[in-house]
Amino acid sequence: MKFLSFVKSKCLFLSISFFMYFVVLLLLFAFKVDISLIIAFTVLFISVNIINLLIEYFSKRKFYNQLINNVDKLDKSYLVLETLKEPNFYEGKLLYNSLYEINKSMNENVMEFSRQVSDFKNYIEMWIHEVKIPLASCMLKLHNNRDKLNENMMLQLNRIDDYLEQVLYYVRSENASKDYFISKVNLEKCVNSVLVKNKDYLLDMDIILDVRNVDFEVYTDAKWFMFIINQILNNSIKYKGKNSIIKIYAIRNPSNVVLIIEDNGIGISSADLPRVFEKSFTGSNGRDNVKSTGMGLFIVKNLCDKLGHNIEIKSVQGEYTRVEISLSDNNFYDEVR
């Protein structure tokens, strides 16, 4: 709150009062009052005005400066009311009470929306579990009456399952971290079960697998981590090149284990590479080749962040894509427990 601006805002009040002053002055001259009385009146008039202004300025400045500063400093500026004391001047009280009411109605509004979102998420989760039952039934039916056509249908059912999982993990990764559980997990087992799950897809696409040196114990949530590997593997299959090989191996460092999934597929252009983890980013690969939602890697990044894993993608277009996930293998979690 600046003094000059404050005075300017009082312009009307001051000009009226000075106008009255001159009227009084003229009257005093007209009645030929003694000059010393006029001077005394002038001094009195000016000092009363100044004192008035100063008192008002300082009492308001305290409240408004606090308001402005706190709005600036808080990263959630809507909480500013909590930091203020109710002011003792009338306009301030009006403002304070209005802010209070506005806040309240806003909160109710936000609450309503967040309730709707969480209801919807719960419904989606439930719905996915429900859909998985007929899906399981279909898979069993196909398996019980199998021929060449059915194998292809099985592949498609697996794809549906993958897409369902993606939604499920999207809902979960956005939620508060409630349903993951970090424990000691064998990396080879995780990799193996993802590969077995994708066996038909990999064989169908004529992809050679080169898996070595993954027998390490790491700290992660097995389910989430398997979802992450599954997403990356599926990207490698989706964007494969000719004579495709997918190499999966791990490197042991003093403080972590790095799992590397490397393909010789079409790669990612250097322009797209920094943005692959962005939500809904499809890039030229997603547009040109296969329909892509741009959600897979976004969810993967989100889950990795929650689990405390570092994920990096290196790629040269037309040559390779290498995904590196570093997992902690220290016994921090053991020590905590």
**Quick check: 328 and 310 in contact, CB under 8 A?**
no
The verdict on 159 binding other proteins (CB under 8 A) reads: no
Site size toward other proteins, by CB under 8 A = 33
Beta carbon of residue 206, minimum distance to other proteins (angstroms, whole number): 8
Q: Where are the beta strands (DSSP E) in 75-215?
A: 183-186, 208-212
Q: Which is nearer to other proteins, 117 or 136 (CB)?
A: 136
Q: Which residues of 267-302 are buried (b: 16+ CB within 10 A; e: fewer)?
A: bbeeebbeebbeeebbbebbeeeeebebbbbbbbbb
Burial of residue 174 (CB within 10 Å: 0-12, 13-18, 19+) is: exposed
DSSP run (H or E) holding 250: strand 245-252
Beta carbon of residue 247, minimum distance to other proteins (angstroms, whole number): 11
Beta carbon of residue 133, minimum distance to other proteins (angstroms, whole number): 5
Beta carbon of residue 320, minimum distance to other proteins (angstroms, whole number): 19
Beta carbon of residue 321, minimum distance to other proteins (angstroms, whole number): 19
**Quick check: 224 and 162 in contact, CB under 8 A?**
no
Q: Which is nearer to other proteins, 188 or 324 (CB)?
A: 188
Q: Which is nearer to other proteins, 161 or 324 (CB)?
A: 161
Beta carbon of residue 190, minimum distance to other proteins (angstroms, whole number): 12
The verdict on 223 binding other proteins (CB under 8 A) reads: yes
Beta carbon of residue 79, minimum distance to other proteins (angstroms, whole number): 34
Binding mask 2-21 for other proteins (x = CB under 8 A): --------------------
Among the listed residues 226, 229, 240, the one whose alpha carbon sits nearest the alpha carbon of residue 285: 240
Beta carbon of residue 142, minimum distance to other proteins (angstroms, whole number): 8
List Cα–Cα distances, 321 to 41, 228, 246, 264, in angstroms: 88, 16, 10, 7
Beta carbon of residue 161, minimum distance to other proteins (angstroms, whole number): 6
Binding mask 112-151 for other proteins (x = CB under 8 A): -----------------xx-xxxxxxxxxx-xx-------
Spatial neighbors of 197 by CB under 8 A, at least 6 apart, are: 158, 230
- Residue 189: other Cβ atoms inside 10 A: 13
Burial of residue 84 (CB within 10 Å: 0-12, 13-18, 19+) is: middle
DSSP run (H or E) holding 108: helix 90-144
Helix axes 222-238, 296-307, angle to 10 degrees: 150
Q: Which is nearer to other proteins, 24 or 142 (CB)?
A: 142
**Quick check: 51 and 57 in contact, CB under 8 A?**
no
Q: Which is nearer to other proteins, 24 or 195 (CB)?
A: 195
The verdict on 221 binding other proteins (CB under 8 A) reads: yes
- Residue 194: other Cβ atoms inside 10 A: 20
Binding mask 180-219 for other proteins (x = CB under 8 A): xx------x---x--xxx-x--xx--x-xx-x--------
**Quick check: 293 and 280 in contact, CB under 8 A?**
yes
The verdict on 174 binding other proteins (CB under 8 A) reads: no
Q: Which is nearer to other proteins, 94 or 126 (CB)?
A: 126
Q: Which is nearer to other proteins, 154 or 258 (CB)?
A: 154
Q: Which is nearer to other proteins, 112 or 179 (CB)?
A: 179
Q: Which is nearer to other proteins, 66 or 234 (CB)?
A: 234
Contact positions vs other proteins (CB under 8 A)? 129-130, 132-141, 143-144, 157, 161, 179-181, 188, 192, 195-197, 199, 202-203, 206, 208-209, 211, 221, 223
